Chain A
Amino acid sequence: DAKTTQPNSMESNEEEPVHLPCNHSTISGTDYIHWYRQLPSQGPEYVIHGLTSNVNNRMASLAIAEDRKSSTLILHRATLRDAAVYYCILRGGFGNTGKLIFGQGTTLQVKP
């Protein structure tokens, strides 16, 4: 199963953009790139996912490198509520079985 590499932690200032990187150099052509986040004392929350093209939704943007070996989750204007653990997950290695395998993720701190 293709793995992802994320920084353990990042800091940002409130109301500034945040770019969360994810490396996945062994990604296969059918792997989707998913992002989830987990706020303190809550269950994980779906953020965004994509396959090849950049994606935007109301929560964030996902920028996928042309070779798909890396991606970046972009929070356009961080708020204190965005402080969470962000997980970058590849889905495709288990053939549509529903498996979602979480790595260690990036802990994002947002400073006022």
Chain B
Amino acid sequence: DTEVTQTPKHLVMGMTNKKSLKCEQHMGHRAMYWYKQKAKKPPELMFVYSYEKLSINESVPSRFSPECPNSSLLNLHLHALQPEDSALYLCASSRGTGDNYEQYFGPGTRLTVT
């Protein structure tokens, strides 16, 4: 099973709402990632978790709060977002953070902030 699942597929939220995105993998991978992709642009790395600890935060605003409750799950908590945060949010996982490891991506959550 090389699948990374993400829920929900689509999310519409107001600027005052709090919502969460969920990502799950059962490949035994110990590294998990959040990416953001705007329309017609390449994905941009947001966060890296290694062995359930946050190892990289690419200067992401605090209205995005990641959480890794266990080795299979990765959440992204959203609060007080802006319309420019509307994008496709992608989760990925890999065996580790080594440069020789490939990353497996989920289908993404398409977020619209109104």
Partner of A87, one of B42, B50, B92, B102: B42
The answer to whether the Cβ of B66 comes within 8 Å of any Cβ in the partner chain is no
What DSSP secondary structure best describes chain A's contact surface? loop
Nearest B residue to A96, CB-CB: B98
Q: Across the interface, which residues of A come within 8 angstroms of B98, CB to CB?
A: 96
In contact, B102 and A34 (Cβ under 8 angstroms) = yes
In contact, A32 and B33 (Cβ under 8 angstroms) = no
Q: Across the interface, which residues of A come within 8 angstroms of B96, CB to CB?
A: 96, 98
In contact, B48 and A32 (Cβ under 8 angstroms) = no
Contact (A32, B99) CB under 8 Å given A44-B90, A45-B105, A98-B55: yes
Interface size grouping (class) on chain B: 20 to 34
Interface string of B60-98 (1 = CB under 8 A from A): 000000000000000000000000000000101010111
In contact, B108 and A43 (Cβ under 8 angstroms) = yes
In contact, A98 and B102 (Cβ under 8 angstroms) = no
Contact (A97, B48) CB under 8 Å given A34-B102, A43-B107: yes
The answer to whether the Cβ of A49 comes within 8 Å of any Cβ in the partner chain is yes
Q: Across the interface, which residues of B come within 8 angstroms of A99, CB to CB?
A: 45, 48, 56
The answer to whether the Cβ of B59 comes within 8 Å of any Cβ in the partner chain is no
- The A70-105 residues at the B interface (CB cut-off 8 A) are 85, 87, 91-92, 96-105
In contact, B107 and A100 (Cβ under 8 angstroms) = no
Nearest B residue to A32, CB-CB: B99
CA distance A96 to B55 in the complex (A): 11
Minimum CB–CB distance from A97 to chain B (whole Å) comes to 6
Interface string of B12-46 (1 = CB under 8 A from A): 00000000000000000001010000000011110
Add 18 more A-B contacts to A43-B4, A44-B92, A97-B48 (CB < 8 A): A31-B99, A32-B99, A32-B100, A36-B103, A43-B107, A43-B108, A44-B43, A46-B104, A96-B99, A97-B56, A98-B56, A99-B48, A100-B92, A100-B103, A101-B45, A102-B42, A102-B43, A105-B42
